[in-house]
A and B are shown apart, each in its own frame.
Chain A
Amino acid sequence: MGILNDFAKGLKVTLRQIWGERVTAEYPKDMREKPQRFHGRHVLNRYPDGMEKCIGCELCAGACPAHCIYVRGADNPIEAPVSPGERFGFVYEINMLRCIFCALCVEACPTEAITMTHLFEMSTTNREDAIYTKRELLVEPDGTPNHMFPDDSLADVEELRKADGWMRAVAPGGRVAYEGLTPWSESAGVGVRPAEPGQDPLRPIAADLPDFLTIEPASPRSVAEGAGGSEEPTGEEATIVSPDGERSDGPERSGGEDAVPEEES
C-alpha cells in the first residue's frame, strides 16, 4: 500500500520537527543577526574632524526613485565652513514613508555622506514624524547618531552606529567585493570602517592583491557583528589608496586638525 507508506512518511516528517531547531526569533527580546549589507535607516556622516560630509550636491535626491529626499545646498561660510567643499547641505530631509530603502542615494553620494544603518524600528504615531530632517539624520560631531525618539523602548542607537556594508561596496573606487582594501573615507566616531573578508565567494581572502594593498583581514568576530559598532578599526596597518594610486597612511589622515580629506572622483 504505497499510500499508507506516504502517510507514514509525512507523519514522520512532522514528528521529527518537534526536536528540531526553532526558527522564531523572539523579537524584541532576541534580535536576529542582520546581513552585512542590510538597508536600514539613513544617517549623514561627518569626517573625524567634525566636518559634515554632505556637500549639498543633490545627487542623492536625483537618484532617489521614490523622490523622498529633499536637499537644498548653500555656500559654505568662509569663516566657519560646515563641509570641506564649496557648499554644504543646508536642508536635508528624507520622507521615510516614501523611502523604499533601495540605497541608490548611498551609491550616488560622491562623499559617502549618506549611509544606511542597521536600524529598522521607525514607527511613528503621525505622518510628520516620518519626515526626517538633519536634526535626526546628521550624527553628532563625535559620531553619535541621533534618534528621533531616544526614550522609546525600541530605540537602539547601537543599530544606528552600524553602517551597512553597502556604502563600502559602492564607494567611489570601491568594488562589489569590497574586501582587502579601504578606498573609503573615515567617519567621525568610527574612523575607517573595516572591510570584511568573505564578501566575494569566488575569491580567497586577499589573495590576489599586491602586498601594498592588503590589510589585516578583519577578525571573524567583527564580521559577525557588522561594521564594528563603536570599536576603533584596526588602523595601524591599514593603507588607504585613492583611485589614482596615491598612498597615504590611515592614522595620519585623521591626525591633524586642518586635514581636509580630498574629494574623490
Chain B
Amino acid sequence: MDFWDYAIIAVRVILAFAIPLVAVIFLVWGERKINADMTNRIGPDRAGPWGILQTVADGLKLFFKEQVTPRKVEFIMYAAAPVIALVPAFMTFLIIPWGQGFTFEIGGKVREFAFVGADLNVGVLFFLAMSSVAVYAVILAGWSSGSKYPLLGGVRGTAQAISYEAAMGLAIVAVVLFASTTSSEGGTLSLVELVERQRGTWDEVVALPGGLAWFENVLGLIPRWNILPQFIAFVIFMIAAVAETNRAPFDLVEAEQELVGGFHTEYSGFRFAMFFLAEYTNMFNMSAMAVVLFFGGWDGPTFERWLPGFFVTMLPLFWFLLKTAVVLFVYIWIRATWPRLRYDQLMTLGWKRLIPAALVWLIASTIVVSIRQFGWPWA
C-alpha cells in the first residue's frame, strides 16, 4: 500500500457517494420531465438549462429547511428511520458492477481499478438482505411518528415489501440456477460473475442435435443474456421490483389521496430528503439489478478493432448506463400510465399470482437445468 493505493481508495469512496447523488439528481429531473411530457405539460424548466438543476435547487431548499419534530414522536426511532432507509440503498449501490475493470500503471506499479464498489461472492444475497433491511425504515418511520396516517402507511409498506420480496427472491433463484449451468465452475452469487456469464452469444452454450445445426447461426447473433430463457422470471422480478420500491402502481405506502404522505408525513427538511434520496437510489438499484440479472450488465459491443483502448474500457460503462436508463424509463412510463392498485388487489397479485407463478417457474427451470446437467432420467 503506497500513496497511489490510498488515492484510488479515496477516489472510489468519493465516487460511491457522488454517483448515487448525481444519479438521483438526473433521475428525479428525468422523471418529472418524462411525466410532464406524457401528460402534455412542460415540466421543470426554470433552474438551469431544461430545468436540469431543479433537483439541486429542491435539495438545497430541503437542506436549509427547519426539521419539524412533532411532539409525540419516539425520537430515537424517528431520527434513525431516514438513516435506515438511506444506508441500505447506498450499500446496494456498492455491489452493482458498472463496467469491466481495467488496469493502469502509475507510481511504478500496475494497479487495478474495478467498476464495482465491492465484488461480493454473495452479491445476490446481499442485495436481497439490504432490500429487507430497508423495510425497517418504512415501519419505524410510520410507527415512531406517533400519527395515524404514517402508521397506516408503514404497515402497508411492510406487508407489501414482505409479500413481494418472496416473489422477487424466487425469480432471482431461477436466474441463479440457470446461470449455474452456463459455466463449468458451477453456481455463483457474484454479480460480476453473473455478468461475465452472459457475455457472448447463445451458440456457445446451446448444443443442438445434428439436424438443427443451421439454427446455430441464428443463435450466434443473439447475445447470451438471461432475458431470453428467463423471461417469466424477468417479468416477475420487474413487478416485484416496482412493488419493492413503492412506486406507482404499487405506491400504496405513500398514497397521497388516502394517507397524506404515508410513512413520511411527519418528516420535513433533510430527514425527508433522505427518504426521497433513498427511494430514488433504490429505484436506480432495482433497474441496475434488472440489467445485471437479465440484460447482460455491461455486456455490449466494444469495437476493439476500431476504437482506442480508452473507449474500449469505457464503452461497457456506457452500455450499462444505457440499459439502466431504458429500464428506468419503463419505470417512469408505468408510473405515468397505470392507476394505483387497491390494497386487496395488491395482496392478491402478490400472494395468489406472483408467488405461485414464481414457484412454478422455478420448478420448471429446475427440471430443465437438471436434464441439461444429468441427462434424461431414463437414459
Q: Which residue of B lies closest to A26 (CB)?
A: B42
Residue numbers in A under 8 Å from B334 (CB-CB)? 11
A10 vs B338: C-alpha distance when bound (angstroms): 7
Closest to B41 in A: A24
Q: Inside 8 A of A10's CB, which chain B residues have their CB?
A: 337-338
Instruction: Give CA–CA (A22, B333) in the complex, Å.
Output: 18
B337 touches A14 (CB 8 A): yes
- Quick one: which of B29-62 are within 8 Å of A by CB? 34, 37-42
Q: Are B41 and A15 in contact (CB under 8 A)?
A: no
Measured CB to CB, the closest approach of chain A to B58, in angstroms, equals 19
For residue A17, which residues in chain B have a CB less than 8 angstroms away from its CB? 37-40
Cβ-defined contact, B337 with A11, below 8 A:
yes
Within 8 Å CB of A263, what residues of B?
none
Which residues does chain A contribute within 8 Å of B34, judged by CB atoms?
Answer: 18
Chain A residues near B39: list those with CB within 8 A.
14, 17
| Chain A residue with Cβ nearest B335 | A14
Within 8 A of A (CB), among B312-347: 333-334, 336-338
**Does A202 belong to the interface (CB within 8 Å)?**
no
* Residues of chain B within 8 A of A18, CB atoms compared: 34, 37-38
Residues of B contacting A: mostly:
helix
| A15 contact from B40, B42, B333, B338, Cβ within 8 A | B333
Out of B38, B41, B42, which one reaches A14, CB within 8 Å? Answer: B38
Interface pair B333/A11, CB less than 8 Å apart: yes
A20 within 8 A of B: yes
> How far does the alpha carbon of A23 sit from the alpha carbon of B334 in the complex, in Å?
22
Looking across the interface, which residue of chain B has its beta carbon closest to that of A20?
B40
Q: In the bound complex, what is the Cα–Cα distance between A180 and B172 (angstroms)?
A: 76
Chain B residue at minimal CB-CB distance from A23: B40
B: interface residue count bin: 10 to 19
What's the minimum C-beta distance from A92 to chain B, rounded to whole angstroms? 41
A20 contact set on B, CB distance < 8 A: 40
- The contact string, 1 if C-beta is below 8 Å from chain B, for chain A 1-41, is 00000010011011101101111101000000000000000
Q: Which residue of B lies closest to A19 (CB)?
A: B37
B333 x A14 contact (CB < 8 A): yes
Q: Which residue on chain B has the smallest CB distance to residue A7? A: B338
CB distance A24 to B42 under 8 Å?
A: yes
Q: Assuming the A-B contacts A10-B338, A14-B336, are A22 and B38 also in contact, with contact meaning beta carbons closer than 8 angstroms in the complex?
A: no
B338 touches A23 (CB 8 A): no
Cα A119 to Cα B338 with chains together (Å) = 40
A23 touches B337 (CB 8 A): no
Nearest B-chain residue to A18, judged by Cβ: B37
Instruction: Tell me, in angstroms, the Cα distance from A14 to B338 when the chains sit together.
Output: 10
Most buried by B among A13, A20, A24: A24
Q: Whole-angstrom distance from the CB of A145 to the nearest CB of chain B?
A: 32
Contacts of A23 in B (CB 8 A): 40-41
Cα–Cα, bound, A108→B132 (Å):
71
Closest to A24 in B: B42
Complex Cα distance, B267 from A158, in Å, reads 47
Which single residue of chain B is at the shortest CB-CB distance from A12?
B337
Residue of B nearest to A13 (CB): B337
When distances are taken between beta carbons in the complex, the residues of chain B under 8 Å from A14 are: 38-39, 333, 336-337
Contact of A22 with B41 in the complex, beta carbons under 8 Å:
yes
Q: How far is the CB of A12 from chain B (nearest CB, A)?
A: 9
Q: Complex formed: what's the CA distance from A18 to B37 in Å?
A: 5
Contacting residues, chain A, for B40 (C-beta < 8 A): 17, 20-24
When distances are taken between beta carbons in the complex, the residues of chain A under 8 Å from B336 are: 14
In angstroms, Cα B140 to Cα A202, docked, is 66
Q: Which residues of chain A come closer than 8 Å to B37, judged between CB atoms?
A: 17-18
CA distance A10 to B334 in the complex (A): 9
Chain B proximity mask over A98-139: 1 for CB below 8 Å, otherwise 0 = 000000000000000000000000000000000000000000
Q: What CA separation (Å) do A155 and B327 show in the bound complex?
A: 48
Closest A residue to B46 by CB, please name it: A26
CA separation between A26 and B36, bound complex, in Å? 14
Q: Please give me the residue from chain A that is nearest to B42 by CB atom.
A: A24
Question: Which residues of B have CB within 8 Å of A11?
Answer: 333-334, 337
Report Cα–Cα, A18/B41, bound state, in Å. Answer: 9
| A165 to B337 CA separation, bound complex (whole angstroms) | 41
Alpha-carbon distance A22/B336, docked complex (angstroms): 16
Chain B minimum-CB-distance residue to A17? B38
Q: Tell which of A11, A13, A14, A26 has the most Cβ of chain B within 10 Å.
A: A14
Cα–Cα, bound, A20→B336 (Å): 15
* Shortest beta-carbon distance from A11 to chain B in Å: 5
CA distance A7 to B338 in the complex (A): 8
The distance in angstroms between the C-alpha atoms of A11 and B336, with both chains bound, is 9
A21, B40: Cα distance in complex, Å: 6
Contact with A along B154-194 (1 / 0, CB 8 A): 00000000000000000000000000000000000000000
Interchain CA distance A14-B40 in the complex, whole Å: 9
Residues of chain B lying within 8 A (CB to CB) of residue A22: 40-42
**8 shortest A-B CB distances, which residue pairs?**
A14-B38, A14-B337, A18-B37, A24-B42, A23-B40, A10-B337, A17-B38, A14-B336
By a beta-carbon cutoff of 8 Å, the part of chain A in contact with chain B is 7, 10-11, 13-15, 17-18, 20-24, 26
19 A-B contacts (beta carbon < 8 Å): A7-B338, A10-B337, A10-B338, A11-B333, A13-B337, A14-B333, A14-B336, A14-B337, A15-B38, A15-B333, A17-B38, A17-B39, A18-B37, A18-B38, A20-B40, A22-B41, A22-B42, A24-B42, A26-B42
Given A11-B333, A14-B39, A18-B34, 10 other A-B contacts at CB below 8 A? A10-B338, A13-B337, A15-B333, A17-B40, A18-B37, A18-B38, A20-B40, A22-B41, A23-B41, A24-B42
